Structure formats: structure tokens, C-alpha cells
Chains A and B, each alone.
Chain A
Amino acid sequence: MMRREEEGVAPINFMWHLVWDFKWDLLKGLLTAVNVSIAALILSMVIGMLFALARMSRFKVFSIFASVYVNIFRGIPALVSVIWVYFGWSLLFGHNFTVYQAGVIALTLLYSSFFCEIFRSALQAIHKGQREAGMALGLTRGRIFRSIMLPQATKIAIPNIGSMYIGMIKDTSTFAIIGMVEVVRVTQNLNSTYFQPFVLYTAAAGLYVVIAFLVDFIFRNAELNFSYPPQGRLAKFLSRKKKKRIEGLMKST
């Protein structure tokens, strides 16, 4: 067997120290990805909830509009979406978004359609007796939504929100194409200087995996805190004062 040198191929020399040398650049890229995806997560959840309500509305115009929106946008890849927002929009309307804005908008357009479906199925999973109990108590529609439907729907939706968020952060990798200095862009830049694709992309993959683990941990915890009765430490801590007050009432009544 010929050795690599004899073939004229450079010997394999993994420069793992690059990861350490450029850790701050990589982490800054990660921070950008997290920033963009969190902003988009919040917007997508709010807009997705509005679309979910529109979709379940008894007014046909709203429900048709929402379902058309969902079916269009959940089919578009993030790469296409961001190019469209960043380049297409400025051509059409002569207004330029910053790279950061374009990323947030692109993700929000896509993920609000997913969140619409997640929230719709969560709201529909709530037993209809809950609404009826609220109505029978003379609560307003708004109050029933805020205090009865929304908390229960959130609990049902939490695991799905978590996996959506992992998808969102992965989708930020496509924003390298419009020049956002996120993880992939940083990796590309380093690679063009050092030509160490294996080392550098392993590091990039590692960062995404770490975030995915972290997100999973956070959402599992959220699920615990949203269970009835609350199980998480945070909820237990927060409910301590409440418990004391109830105990006080139990004595005084």
C-alpha cells in the first residue's frame, strides 16, 4: 500500500489547538446564533398563537388566511427564506434589513407557522369542560383564554416548543450565506485560512450538540415546573410564599 506522502497528499495533521485558539470567535458565533434564534422564538410564539386563534376562529376569513399562511411557510427552507428576506425585500421595497433583522424575520416567518399548529393542537387537546366551567362561572372570553386555556395549552406545548427551538438554532447555520457571523460563518472563515475542515466542523457540530442538550434540559425543567402540582425546584420555591399564605388562611378560617 502506498503511503499518503507518496500519493502527494499532505499528511493528516489535526490542528485541534485551533479550536482552543479561536474559542472566543466560535463562542461569539454561537452567541449570535442564540440571540437570533431566541428573538425569533419569542416572535414566532406570539405570532403563532395569534394564527392559532385565527385558525380556530368562527370567522372564515381568519381561519382561511391562517391555514393558507401555515401551508405556505412551513414548506419553505430557512436558506430560501433568509435570502428572500435579505435580498428580495430590498429589491422590492428598497429597504435594507440588517443581517440580524433578516435572520430573525426569516425564522419567524417559518416558525410561526409551526407554532400555529403546535398551539392549535394544544388548545384543542384541552377538555371542552374547561371552557364550559369558565363560562358557567361568568368569566369573560378573554379571562377564560388567559387564565384557563393558555396555561394548560402551554404545558401541553412545552416539549414541542423545545424541539422547535432546537430546529431554529440549527437553521441559523444557513444565515452564513447572507454574511451573518454565526457558528458556520466563523468556521468557514477559519477553514479558509487553515484548511482544517475536520477539526473545525467537528467543533461547530459540538457547539450545536451542546446547545441542544442545554435546551433539552431547560425544557424538561420547564415541563416539571408546569406540571400539576408543580414539581420543579423553581416552582416549589415560588410557591413557598403561596403555601404559607394558604396555611395562614387555614388557621384563621
Chain B
Amino acid sequence: MPTSSNNEVLMELSGVRKTFGTIEVLHGIDLQITKGSHAVIFGPSGSGKSTVLRCMNLLEEPDVGSIKFLGNEYGPGSGRKEDGKRGKSIDLRRKVGMVFQQFNLFPHLSAIDNLALPYRAVRGGSVHEAQERAAHELNKVGLLKFAANYPSQLSGGQQQRVAIARALSLDPELMLFDEPTSALDPELVGEVLAVMRELAETGMTMVVVTHEMNFAREIGDLNVFMEAGNIVATGGSDFFENCTNQRAQEFIGSVL
């Protein structure tokens, strides 16, 4: 796997805390994502993996701490509108793609329009330009011939590939994946992982929450083990061989 050629930090979380109601679910997360790296986050259910990921594109706003991305700082209150103009968070989201466990395609739009509508909303231009770009992205995930299909006419694996293409069509700097294969039948997992593997090879910066340990081992150059709202252990590509944290070892043993 190509690791980052330089060590430029693309996104940095410092002391991120998040509370739902009265329960704090993230107790101060520090994490640096270098450009071109592939981070894998894993850990038991409820440990806060999704919440970390959702903070990274400000779907959840941290209560404490900061997120630095491309020279801007985001923190508590950044989702609010400032001086009557668009909130800053929208600029971040346009550069950070997200793929959800449940795909979240727009059911009322064909595959191609699932890409073209957001593309046009963000970039402007004509419907034709947007669809051209959409067709190009669908082709890259091998789904061009399903361009006119609606999500209900696609298998889970195909839907997830469309969702990945949709995020990629906006030229993100960073791609977030929240258990992208967990909702899929086992025989469909492979095709989605293949697309992700290819994407990783192009040097895209990725943060992946997954329980697919073989895949994690393959692409993960930063491995993060979370438990109960904390990052308990981190390591590089050799993490799975040389990890000394007992809880992480136990967890890896239990899912493998």
C-alpha cells in the first residue's frame, strides 16, 4: 500500500468530546489523519466509532475540542450560520465524502441522478454536465449500465457502490466510511471492498470504520482501537501483528 509521501496532516481532531443528553460518549479524541493515509477504526459496538466519524464531517458538532481541516478550524458552534452567510460546516462537508452503513441513496432518483443532483447543487452548471460527470463516476465503480435504475432496482452491493460514486463525484479530499459492508449479504461484501481497495490505491485519504479485519489489515496504515468513548490503542500497518494492548488483542481475536 502506498503510504503518504509527505506527512502533511489533512485533518486533526484535538480533545473532541461529545455528549448526548447527559451522557458523554466521546471523552476527548485526538487523531491525526495524514494526507493519503488509510485509517481504520474498530472496536466494540457503542464505543463511539460512528460518532467520531460523524464529527469529522460535522454531522455531529463536538461539544468540546476542535477539528482542523485544510487550514480551517471547526469546533463547538461552527454549524451555526455566521454573519448571515452559509455556515462554515458546509464548506467542510463539500470536501469530505461520507458512505453510510445503510447506503442512504435517494430512492426517488435514478442512480445517475443520485450523483447528478448533488453535483449540480454544489457545482452549478447544466444538467448535461452533471450527468456526464455522474456517468463517468458510475463507470468507475462498474455500474454505468445501471445508470437509469432506481435504488430499489439495485442490489445492496450495487447501491453501496453508487453511494461511493456519489461521494466521489464531488472530488472529496477525505472519504469517510461507516461500516460500509455491514448491511450487505456476505456474497456482496467483496464487490464493495474491491471498489474501496481500488480507491485506496489511487491515494485517496480514507477513514474506515469496519469489522472486516482482513481488509483492515490490508489497507490500514493507521489502526485505531476504540473502547467506551476513548482511543485505547493505535498503531501502523504492523498493528495486528505487534499490538500490545490486551483489550485490542482480545477484540481482534473475537472478530477474526
Contact = CB atoms under 8 A, between A and B. Distances in A.
A11 interface: no
Interface string B159-186: 0000000110010000000000000000
Interface residues of B, number: 41
Interface in A204-253: 228-229, 242-243, 245-247, 249-250, 252-253
A143 interface: yes
Given A129-B100, A135-B93, A136-B57, A246 B118 contact: no
A125 interface: no
B132 A249 contact: yes
Interface stretch (B7-15, B103-111, B238-246): B103-111
Nearest to B119: A137
Given A151-B108, A228-B108, A137 B170 contact: yes
B150 A228 contact: yes
> Which secondary structure dominates chain A's binding surface?
helix
Interface in B102-154: 102, 104-108, 110, 112, 117-118, 121-122, 128, 131-132, 135-136, 139, 144-145, 147-153
Contact of A137 (B86, B136, B153, B166): B166
B88 to A, nearest CB: 12
B226 interface: no
Given A136-B98, A138-B122, A228-B151, A147 B117 contact: yes
B112 A246 contact: yes
Nearest to A139: B121
B131 A132 contact: no
B59 A136 contact: yes
B43 interface: no
Contact of A229 (B105, B112, B132, B153): B153
B139 A253 contact: yes
B152 A229 contact: yes
B151 to A, nearest CB: 7
Contacts of A124: none
A141 to B, nearest CB: 9
Contacts of A130: 104, 106
B97 interface: yes
Interface in A77-96: none
Interface magnitude class on chain A: 20 to 34
A136 B170 CA distance: 11
B95 to A, nearest CB: 8
Given A229-B150, A246-B148, A253-B139, A148 B122 contact: no
Contact of B93 (A138, A151, A247): A138
A72 interface: no
B22 to A, nearest CB: 20
Interface of B: 57, 59, 86, 90-91, 93-94, 96-98, 100, 102, 104-108, 110, 112, 117-118, 121-122, 128, 131-132, 135-136, 139, 144-145, 147-153, 166-167, 170
Interface of A: 127, 129-130, 132-140, 143, 147-148, 151-152, 155, 228-229, 242-243, 245-247, 249-250, 252-253
Given A250-B135, A250-B145, 20 more contacts: A129-B100, A130-B106, A132-B104, A133-B100, A133-B104, A135-B93, A136-B93, A136-B98, A137-B93, A137-B122, A137-B167, A137-B170, A138-B91, A138-B118, A138-B170, A147-B117, A151-B108, A152-B107, A249-B112, A249-B147
